[in-house]
Amino acid sequence: MSATYVFQGYKNTYYFRIAISTDLRHIVKRGEIRRSLKTTNYATALRRAQQMYEELQTLFNQLRVQNGMHPFLGKGFEIEGLTIVDPKNETVC
């Protein structure tokens, strides 16, 4: 993950910011998400941002699957929970 998702704001507190991709904006109803990482320590902010990024990517993928927008659907791939499995039963993501 790039440090570009992290910025310093009010009273030197670090924040996380991520743009919502255009395919999800009509569902999420916003263009970006900003959240405080509740720390003034850069290393701590990076760790928290990484966790937040991973959680949001999982959520974005869930939204795509629920709305029939996942890129692997209809191409010989099937969904098992949140794991995408190809026809050879190998995990893709």
What pLDDT digit, counting tens, does each position of 29-41 carry?
999 999 999 999 9
pLDDT more than 90, % of the chain: 46
Q: What sign does the CA torsion over 49, 55, 59, 64 have?
A: positive
Map tokens 């919502």 to a residue: 20
Q: Helical H runs in the chain?
A: 25-28, 42-66
Provide the pLDDT for residue 63: 87
Confidence of residue 76 (pLDDT cuts 50, 70, 90): very low
Give the Å distances, CA to CA, from 26 to 9, 18, 20, 29. Answer: 28, 16, 10, 5
